Amino acid sequence: MAKPKKPRAPAPDPPAAAHLPWHPPAPPVSTAALISLAALLVRVLVSVGPYSGQGVAPKFGDYEAQRHWMELTLHLPSSDWYRNTSDNDLAYWGLDYPPLSAYQSRLHAILLNASLPDAVALRSSRGFESPESKLLMRWTVMSSDLLVFFPAALWFVWAYFKSGVSGTGEERSAGWTWLLAICLINPCLVLIDHGHFQYNCISLGLTLGAIAGVFSRHELVAAALFSLSMNHKQMSLYFAPAFFGHLLGKSIKRKYPIVEVMKLGLVVLGTFALVWWPFLHSYEAAMQVISRLAPFERGIYEDYVANFWCSTSVLIKWKKLFAIKPLKLMSLSATIFAFLPSFVQQVRSPSNLGFLYSLLNSSISFYLFSYQVHEKSILLPLLPASLLALQEPQLYGWFMYFALFSMYPLMCRDHLLLQYIAVLGLFVLIYYSPGGSHKKGANIPSGAKAVLSLALLCSFLLQVIYLQIEPPKRYPFLFDALIMFICFSQFVILALYTNYKQWMLDTYYRSIGRKKDL
């Protein structure tokens, strides 16, 4: 009698094919290398396009500003970098960043001078443009990114998951690749640094390294790195209340709080003294630098930036009604009032997750209310938002889109529309990849969804209208203003939500019985 055939076991389910190509169980080192290589390739492709002010004489744009600073720092003594002289006309892209940025310009100038001296020749190189100089200038940004921002992102992702903020082991193994890709392939940062042309990757990379230092319990290293970040670009001060509040809150809860605070203070003072040493020989020399870092005469805002002062200027003509001094006072008061709740929460109850929320709340407060904000300053709150992507994926995706949308007029002026569309499409692919966390997040009420969907629809329509329809001659910047209003409204909603979430963290930690990291 024939033996009955055993029923065949069902074939195992195929692996989730929808995972990213680099998704675990790939080895961590090779996976991180592959993601980094992909991020580098994106930067290379964007850098092929035009840059700010290309071929637009007589002042060109940010590309020429960076080239001019290389020219100045290479040929002039440091005492003349921030001073108006016959060789340094401050009206023509005068250096207005702190000394560390000047040292970076000098280093890059030495490299350019060795290969293409005409590009940084004193006086005769104004407006110098050539395919060779563009290639060399682009590589200075690329190398800065690779040497500063990339290692900082890798360190942060490692420290973030080691600290336990991410939750369970399964969540850690599934989420680290997505978070690393989110950090490294930031559409706004890629477009501004490698398209428009700036070096935000250095200051943001130093800040990211400082955040990783906090997560790794290396507070003194964090203090030094953040001090360097502030000495590269003064806009890093947007994060200062969060760093100060968090580190102060940790210090006063330890055994010897005064000693802890003194150690941090000495590191900060020592780092500043080291960077500023060439300018500390006299009060006048130091004040020359400081006066260049705070250009109040430019007004409380420039262009159509999506912050409070510019958005409300349609109804209240701030520049006409108030002089610079009262505007400075109002701006300072509004900024402090906006970040104070977040600061107080971290002093009272410091935690790693709360620190990330505080970084976002502090930087968005400065963006919305501080003096002399540019549209590119949205890069600062975007950094902590990307670090919160696993915790708040919906918030991050929404914020990233409207941050990118707020820079749409700038991208059009720079003729970077193709790059804008490409990196936005790439971001969508990464964000909605099956290995990601886009489905996780708060349940949004249907009414709120309708309002948010309306803003999204308006943004889509405006991007098409901006390209196809001429604005009325009486209101030549009508579409820029509408973009500004929409983005400002979304940024305000985001700030209110993240402040609420930060203050609810104590309740969250009590509910799960989890100790905060000190």
pLDDT in tens, 368-406: 999 989 889 999 999 999 999 999 999 999 999 999 999
- Residue 170 has a pLDDT of 53
Query: Stretch 120-142: mean pLDDT, rounded?
Result: 95
In this structure, are 241 and 209 located in the same domain?
Answer: yes
- Residue 131 has a pLDDT of 95
Query: Stretch 484-509: mean pLDDT, rounded?
Result: 91
Within a domain: 39: no
In this structure, are 124 and 156 located in the same domain?
Answer: no
Query: Stretch 142-165: mean pLDDT, rounded?
Result: 94
Of the three residues 107, 129, 151, the one that is the final residue of a domain is: 129
Q: Compute the distance between CA of residue 82 and CA of residue 248 in angstroms, rounded to an integer.
A: 34
Within a domain: 213: yes
- Predicted confidence band at 301 (pLDDT cuts at 50, 70, 90)? confident
Within a domain: 6: no
Q: How far apart are the first and last CA of the chain?
A: 74
- pTM recorded for the entire structure: 0.91
pLDDT at 167 over 60: no
- Residue 11 has a pLDDT of 44
Q: Is the backbone peptide bond immediately before 58 cis, with ω within 30 degrees of 0?
A: yes
pLDDT at 217 over 60: yes
The dihedrals phi and psi of 301, each to the nearest 5 degrees, come to -155, 165
Q: Compute the distance between CA of residue 49 and CA of residue 104 in angstroms, rounded to an integer.
A: 24
Q: What is the DSSP letter of 431?
A: H
By CB atoms closer than 10 A (0-12, 13-18, 19+), residue 2 is exposed
Within a domain: 11: no
**Domain of 71, in residue numbers:** 52-129
By CB atoms closer than 10 A (0-12, 13-18, 19+), residue 317 is exposed
In this structure, are 123 and 139 located in the same domain?
Answer: no
Number of domains in the chain: 2
pLDDT at 163 over 60: yes
Neighbours of 229 (CB within 10 A): 28
Q: Which two tokens stand for residue 33?
A: 């290398």
Q: Is the dihedral of CA 187, 188, 192, 195 positive or negative?
A: positive
Within a domain: 182: yes
Within a domain: 21: no
Query: Stretch 95-116: mean pLDDT, rounded?
Result: 96
What lies within 8 Å, CB to CB, of 86 at 6+ separation is: none
Per residue in 267-295, pLDDT (tens digit) is 999 999 999 999 998 999 999 999 999 88
Query: Stretch 3-14: mean pLDDT, rounded?
Result: 48
- Residue 234 has a pLDDT of 95
In this structure, are 274 and 401 located in the same domain?
Answer: yes
- Residue 446 has a pLDDT of 72
- Residue 21 has a pLDDT of 47
Query: Stretch 202-219: mean pLDDT, rounded?
Result: 97
In this structure, are 193 and 310 located in the same domain?
Answer: yes
Query: Stretch 440-456: mean pLDDT, rounded?
Result: 76
In this structure, are 225 and 136 located in the same domain?
Answer: yes
What lies within 8 Å, CB to CB, of 325 at 6+ separation is: none
Q: Is the dihedral of CA 376, 380, 385, 388 positive or negative?
A: positive
In this structure, are 76 and 159 located in the same domain?
Answer: no
Question: How does the average pLDDT of the chain come out, rounded?
Answer: 90
Per residue in 147-158, pLDDT (tens digit) is 999 999 999 999
In this structure, are 432 and 501 located in the same domain?
Answer: yes
pLDDT at 517 over 80: no
In this structure, are 319 and 357 located in the same domain?
Answer: yes
What percent of the chain is predicted at pLDDT more than 70? 89
- Predicted confidence band at 450 (pLDDT cuts at 50, 70, 90)? confident
Q: Compute the distance between CA of residue 396 and CA of residue 385 in angstroms, rounded to an integer.
A: 6
pLDDT at 119 over 80: yes
Within a domain: 197: yes
Within a domain: 63: yes
In this structure, are 97 and 157 located in the same domain?
Answer: no
Query: Stretch 165-184: mean pLDDT, rounded?
Result: 76
pLDDT at 308 over 60: yes
Per residue in 220-271, pLDDT (tens digit) is 999 999 999 999 999 999 999 999 999 999 999 999 999 999 999 999 999 9
- Residue 434 has a pLDDT of 75
Nearest Cα to 51, choosing from 41, 63, 38? 63
In this structure, are 95 and 227 located in the same domain?
Answer: no
What lies within 8 Å, CB to CB, of 354 at 6+ separation is: 246, 345, 346, 502, 505, 516
The dihedrals phi and psi of 407, each to the nearest 5 degrees, come to -95, 5
In this structure, are 202 and 327 located in the same domain?
Answer: yes
